[in-house]
């Protein structure tokens, strides 16, 4: 196997009949390439790289260290020592050895070798230290050094890492597509199947991100075939290709496929002791577990991955913290979720997470502002990453009674989903469309949208989302006078939510059940509708009227509690009593009824 840091040894030895020594000097290895000195050096380098190829990282480190004792300025030995240290998560040695190798290659005038090492240093500064500015500087230096070597293996490696930075750090799929094309072209010129497939994986990922999901997944399927067929040999290249596939699946919410590839990647990581990629894989696998309702497994994976990344690659920990924050949010542990999102720093998904927490807490204006801030930062062609923020924005605008804005956000969401056309994204759009229909006084349209969402989420195996859609469907059915069917939907939702202890959604379901049962009994009472409304009006207390007015302003229970100086539990009790007295199933229906009665 040929590793990403070097060309095959034959090519190196043909070009490098010298060794790198003190600054500014280059000494011949010997008068003959077959001198004892050259033979011993060559054999030692081969032994070190054979150890790397076999996954014997510690043995490789010992071999290269021994060679460096005799030849402290041997750049190839420094590269080998750095790669062994990289696999062993020994950051100080990685930086020291690679920076020394870079200087020696520059002194020798070897642009390709110096460019190769510069690319690795860019990745190191990003992953080990989270220092994106320094990483960008090293990447730019590599571009300058390799500008005249566009058909080389080193240029393919540069293009691969540039595409990854463009897509994952900058959220720029169009730029990533260009770099991926450069990687593929260079790889084909130099005969590197490994880099060609990584380039194609990045192209597929970028296409999926830009909303061209069928084309992107088709490209990724071709790469998967190459992996399975054994066409790829490089450990790092295989790991990266699989990682990009799983990330693309996560981005378009194809979690069944993601889970399958996580299993394959986990086996690969365990076999080759690829600890860092294993931690990243666990983070991605946890996302699939969250989607499928396996929350205990997701928590175990995320806690372990966070600990591993904190110890080995602190620059890569943000995504694991963000995923754990999302799990805590779904569990109803909002303070913990907020703290995890805050720890995630500038990770884009953390901003969406904070917006969703704000929504759960009833801070609808804050949620809308955070979602809009996230969307403003996205590149125009970055389509699929818009979905989560648009979902938040639709719900926030509805709660704020900004129906035109909610419809505009829904229109944007539909434009992404039409191009993507995956079941999970269609389900998300249907759920939002149902919410808009409810506040537009079209309960039957809402019913149809919610039924579609329920069916699609069921098809995707998304238990939490399916339960949420079921609760909303129950609301629509109750407004249509189909309380028995609504209660049946609630039973199904509760059965899905109880095993995972989703406390917030269980509370919503419980409150709606209480209201539905009271409403059902109220509607069966032998009085006219007008009499019932007048009776309900007269029975509302002053405090319940205060709560109702604040609901109409768009406040959630937490916001109402602050405004009125009472506890959230007391607010919840007032809301439940008010709904029963008005004979309505939901807060939005209460506002509509109160408006008709002239209470607002």
**Where do the domains of the chain lie?**
1-147, 450-522, 525-600
Percent over 70 (pLDDT), the chain: 90
Q: What is the mean pLDDT of residues 525-548?
A: 64
Q: Which of 146, 95, 156, 97 is nearest to 123 (CA)?
A: 95
Task: Give residue 18's pLDDT.
Answer: 38
Angle, in degrees to the nearest 10, between helices 423-439 and 387-399: 10
Q: Is the pLDDT of residue 270 over 70?
A: yes
For 329-360, what is each residue's pLDDT tens digit? 999 999 999 999 999 977 888 999 999 999 99
* pLDDT confidence tier of residue 33, bands split at 50, 70 and 90: low
Q: Is the pLDDT of residue 404 over 50?
A: yes
Is there a shared CATH topology between the 1-147 domain and the 525-600 domain?
Answer: no
Q: Which of 347, 346, 344, 325 is nearest to 336 (CA)?
A: 325
Range of 144-148, 284-288, 439-443 with top mean pLDDT: 144-148
Fold of 1-147: 1.25.40
* pLDDT confidence tier of residue 559, bands split at 50, 70 and 90: confident
Q: Is the pLDDT of residue 522 over 70?
A: no
* pLDDT confidence tier of residue 281, bands split at 50, 70 and 90: confident
The CATH code for residues 525-600 is 1.10.10.10
| Euclidean distance between CA atoms 102 and 99, whole angstroms | 5
For 459-476, what is each residue's pLDDT tens digit? 999 999 999 999 999 999
Q: Which residues pair with 26 in a beta bridge?
A: 20
pTM value? Answer: 0.78
Task: Give residue 520's pLDDT.
Answer: 66
Contacts of 404 (CB under 8 A, 6+ apart): none
Residue 26 — φ and ψ, nearest 5°?
A: -135, 120
Count of helix runs (H) and strand runs (E) in the chain: 31, 2
For 218-229, what is each residue's pLDDT tens digit? 999 899 888 888
Q: Is the pLDDT of residue 530 over 60?
A: no
* pLDDT confidence tier of residue 565, bands split at 50, 70 and 90: confident
Q: Token digits for 154?
A: 């080193």
């Amino acid at each position: 196997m040929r590793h990403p840091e070097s060309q095959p040894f034959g090519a190196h030895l043909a070009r490098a009949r010298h060794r790198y020594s003190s600054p500014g000097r280059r000494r011949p290895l010997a008068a003959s390439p077959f001198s004892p000195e050259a033979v011993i050096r060559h054999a030692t380098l081969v032994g070190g790289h054979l150890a790397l190829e076999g996954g014997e990282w510690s043995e490789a480190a010992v071999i290269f260290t021994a060679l460096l004792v005799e030849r402290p300025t041997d750049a190839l030995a420094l590269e080998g020592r750095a790669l062994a240290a990289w696999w062993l998560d020994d950051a100080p040695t990685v930086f020291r050895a690679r920076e020394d190798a870079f200087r020696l290659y520059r002194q020798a005038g070897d642009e390709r070798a110096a460019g190769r090492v510069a690319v690795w240093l860019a990745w190191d500064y990003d992953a080990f230290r989270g220092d994106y500015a320094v990483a960008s500087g090293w990447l730019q230096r590599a571009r300058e050094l390799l500008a005249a070597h566009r058909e080389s293996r080193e240029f393919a490696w540069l293009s691969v890492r540039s595409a990854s930075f463009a897509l994952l750090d900058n959220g720029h799929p169009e730029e990533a597509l260009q770099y991926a094309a450069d990687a593929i072209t260079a790889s084909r010129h130099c005969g590197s199947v490994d880099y060609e497939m990584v380039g194609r994986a990045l192209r597929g990922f970028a296409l999926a991100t830009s909303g061209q999901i069928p084309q992107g997944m088709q490209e990724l399927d071709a790469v998967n075939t190459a992996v399975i067929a054994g066409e790829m040999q490089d450990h790092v290249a295989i790991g990266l290709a699989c990682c990009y596939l799983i990330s693309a699946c996560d981005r378009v919410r194809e979690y069944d496929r993601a889970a399958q590839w996580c299993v394959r990647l986990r086996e690969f990581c365990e076999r080759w002791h690829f600890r860092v990629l294993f931690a990243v894989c666990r983070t991605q696998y946890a996302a699939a577990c969250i989607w499928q309702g396996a929350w205990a497994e997701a928590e175990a994976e995320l806690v372990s991955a966070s600990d591993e990344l904190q110890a080995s690659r602190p620059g890569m920990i943000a995504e694991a913290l963000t995923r754990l924050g999302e799990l805590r949010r779904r569990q109803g542990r909002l303070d913990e979720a907020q703290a995890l999102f805050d720890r995630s720093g500038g990770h884009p998904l953390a901003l969406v997470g904070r917006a969703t927490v704000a929504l759960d807490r009833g801070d609808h204006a804050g949620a809308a502002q955070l979602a809009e801030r996230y969307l403003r930062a996205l590149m125009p062609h970055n389509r699929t990453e818009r979905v989560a923020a648009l979902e938040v924005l639709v719900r926030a605008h509805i709660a704020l009674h900004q129906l035109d804005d909610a419809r505009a956000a829904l229109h944007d969401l539909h434009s992404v989903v039409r191009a993507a056309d995956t079941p999970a994204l269609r389900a998300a759009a249907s759920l939002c469309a149902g919410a808009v229909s409810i506040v537009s006084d079209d309960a039957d349209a809402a019913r149809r949208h919610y039924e579609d969402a329920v069916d699609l989420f069921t098809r995707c195996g998304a238990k939490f989302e399916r339960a949420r859609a079921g609760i909303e469907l129950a609301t629509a059915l109750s407004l249509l006078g189909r309380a028995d069917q609504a209660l049946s939907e609630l039973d199904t939702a509760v059965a899905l939510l109880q095993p995972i202890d989703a406390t917030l959604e269980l509370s919503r379901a419980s409150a709606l059940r209480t209201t539905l049962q009271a409403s059902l009994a109220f509607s069966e009472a032998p009085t006219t509708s007008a009499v019932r409304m007048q009776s309900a009006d007269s029975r509302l207390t002053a405090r319940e009227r205060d709560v109702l007015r604040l609901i109409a302003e768009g406040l959630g229970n937490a916001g109402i509690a602050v405004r009125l100086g009472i506890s959230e539990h007391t607010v919840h009790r007032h809301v439940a009593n008010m709904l029963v007295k008005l004979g309505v199933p939901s807060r939005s229906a209460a506002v509509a009824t109160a408006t008709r009665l002239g209470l607002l």
